[in-house]
Amino acid sequence: MKILVVDDELDVKVLFEQHFRKEIRNGELTLIFASNGFDALDVLDNNKQSIPLVLSDINMPGMTGIDLLKKIRILHTDPPPGVIMITAYGDIDLAVRSLKEGASDFVIKPWHNERLLETIREALQRKSGTGQSNVSPGNSIIGTELLGESEPMQDIFKKIEKVAPTDANILILGENGTGKDLVAQAIHQRSLRAKGPFVKTDVGSLTETLFESELFGYRKGAFTDAKEDRTGRIESANGGTLFLDEIGNISLHQQAKLLTVLQNRQVTRLGTNQSVPVDIRLICATNVPFAELANETRFRKDLIYRINTVEITIPPLRKRIKDIPLLAKHFMKQYAAKYFKPELQLDSSALNKLSQYHFPGNVRELQYTIERAVIMCENEMIGDEDLIFSPLETLPDTGNENADMRLSTVERNAIMRVIEKHNGNITRAAKELGLTRTALYRRLSKYDI
């Protein structure tokens, strides 16, 4: 196996030859060295398709490692070699950026020989499409209910391992019910800020007036109901992680306020001119597709750059069918304990029914389905007849002349269809229906939705 090592320091060549002398002697490994990015491109041109992996330093004169990575991905696409970045600890932000540009991985100097070998093996496995990443212990992230054995989830576990120890801002994308909050918690728990606070705020549900008071805090007397001083969510997250959910649903005015805080790393409470410095790691999440966020009439691009050092996209459950049995058994065990049920099993018909369903409500809908099945099951085996999927996906046909046209039924169906249209996003559904979130929640309770 040939590996191209790109570094402008001669010591690195000596180190690699010493570290891998056994593999080189046995003929398992051939190391090719280049002192800069231009020489590396020449080597790749002369060895088309025979170099599966490039290890490159990030900081090099003339052409940086990231510049080299971009050129490799443009010029060598049939297939491109994997690229592992080598960096010092102080350049971790650059290494994280390289992942966004398509790098397979990065290692930090000084590296451990076994860890570097493991990184090389994993990069080659992912490139060849064989094997699974073993970064996560088993098929989950310890400390959360973030589970998955499918390849997309293993890739997410890998990315969490890489970005968690850094202070990079993270943007988590995915449909409602995919587990964006669990990813945020997993990143915090595996970060250097794990002992600090984890503060979650659903900013999409905050009105213009509540947005500033909730996030920035206020002094007593700042407005009519400000009867005492209150610390805002951003200040409360000092030394830890601030998780802003539904970030895609805030107004341009709110975005400007948030951007100012992120740029200055200071918060000014309402009713005072005194700024308080804050040290936070920011994680944001949204179910809005990235293409919509890039529309400047909806979302400021300068804010996107601030919140999106690294993006993690969680695939919908229908695109990771392999995870359904694992998740179903996890929820079954959880709810059997909660409702004092004996140890339950899923029979083959139930597993088959789950695997064939498209789960528009994602993991949240699966959880709801299993909880209801556990409650209603009358023996120790859950069959397909015990699985009833969300009524949001089995709406009556209003085009039928015999359909129930009572006003209450029409209103209920309209609400369900709009919620379905917005993938369960209550804020956007309420806006389309011309209701406040509170009014919509009252109707959801009224119609038992």
Q: Running DSSP on this structure, what letter comes out for residue 315?
A: P
Check: pTM over 0.75? Answer yes or no: no
Give how far the C-alpha of residue 136 lies from the chain's centroid of Cα atoms, to the nearest Å.
Answer: 15
The angle formed by the CA atoms of residues 372, 376 and 377, to the nearest 5 degrees, is: 110
**Sign of the CA dihedral running 295, 298, 304, 306:** positive
Residues in the chain: 449
Q: How far apart are CA 53 and CA 446, in angstroms?
A: 60
What percentage of the chain exceeds 70 in pLDDT?
A: 87
Q: Token match 């080597």: residue?
A: 43
Q: Write the pLDDT tens digit of every residue in 373-414.
A: 999 888 889 998 889 887 654 444 444 444 455 677 777 778
Q: Write the pLDDT tens digit of every residue in 114-160.
A: 667 777 777 776 665 544 433 333 465 544 568 888 999 999 998 99
Query: Exposed, middle or buried, 338 (CB in 10 Å: 0-12/13-18/19+)?
Result: exposed
Rg of the Cα atoms in the chain: 26
Q: How far apart are CA 263 and CA 400, in angstroms?
A: 56
Which tokens sit at 405? 């046209």
Identity at 47, one-letter amino acid code: N
Which tokens sit at 64? 């940086």
Q: Write the pLDDT tens digit of every residue in 315-360.
A: 999 999 999 999 999 999 888 888 888 888 999 999 999 998 889 8
Query: Burial letters for 170-183: b for 16+ Cβ neighbours within 10 Å, e otherwise?
Result: bbbbbbbbbbbbbb
- Helix, strand, coil percentages in the chain from 3-state DSSP, rounded to 5: 50, 15, 40
